[in-house]
Amino acid sequence: RYTFSDAAPDRLRWDDAYSKDGGHSWHGSWIMEFTRSAALPAWPAPGDPGHTYYTGARCDMAQFREFERLAGAFRGTLRVRTADGAEREATGDLVGYKVLDGCAVLTFLKYQLDGESHQDFSFLTYNTYASAFEDDHLDNRRDTRVHMMYGQQAGNEIVLVTGPDVLPARRHRWNFSDDGSVNLTAEESADGSEWVTRLTSEWKSSQR
């Protein structure tokens, strides 16, 4: 569990904790206190490592390399199911950065639909405590919260789902093709049994 506190323009506290009993009790691993030492840095160019990435050697298990295929810039086509059940098509951009010295990837997905700007953010990693891939997902709608999804890999696909106590449930399917393209399918279930596809998308590298 990550807890961010004492956030201000020039400082931030970051606490880490882990649980061995399903979240009933937590044990702290470390506390980091940050103070801004320079002007706000610019984002790196697409494909370049993000801030906090140095040699990439901190997390050396093979599982941490899987989501690194999302590092870089992609252009894609999306099919989105709206609240009225209709499907809309849009084009968008997906940008990913390797961070935390090889332990995670940040992705930013942006598209326009019916005059509205949609943005999705994911923190993608491999959780060694849970022995599972992890996707912490947040969008820019005011009525949504962070969804933490966990799952396993089968071939070229990683399937991640929210916990059994989270309803409506969310599920993400990341599928990686040998040609470098990526498919993302986002699904939702009111009761955790019957799933409805909310978004399908195909992404190809836009870098030359």
- Interatomic CA distance for residues 92 and 95, integer angstroms: 10
Verify that 49 and 32 share a domain, yes or no. Answer: no
Say whether both 23 and 61 belong to one domain: no
Q: Which CATH number belongs to the domain containing residue 140 in this structure?
A: 2.40.128.20
pLDDT of residue 208: 59
Task: Count the helix, strand and coil residues of the chain and give each as a percent rounded to the nearest 5.
Answer: 5, 55, 40
State how many domains the chain has: 2
**For 181-196, what is each residue's pLDDT tens digit?**
999 999 999 888 889 9
For residues 44 and 49, give the distance between their C-alpha atoms in angstroms, rounded to a whole number: 7
Q: What is the CA radius of gyration of the chain?
A: 18
24 with 60, same domain: the answer is no
104 plus 190 within the same structural domain: yes
Q: Are residues 11 and 90 in the same domain?
A: no
Same domain? For 34 and 88 the reply is: no
Are residues 148 and 65 part of one domain? yes
Q: Could you list the residue range(s) of the whole structural domain that residue 150 is in?
A: 42-205
Q: Which of 50-54, 74-78, 82-86 has the highest mean pLDDT?
A: 74-78
Same domain, 170 and 107: yes
Q: What percent of the chain has pLDDT over 90?
A: 63
Q: Judge if 27 and 127 occupy the same domain.
A: no
pTM of full prediction above 0.95: no
Assess whether 46 and 35 both reside in one domain: no
104 lies in the same domain as 196: yes
Rounded Cα gap, residues 102 and 58, in angstroms: 6
**Are residues 108 and 191 part of one domain?**
yes
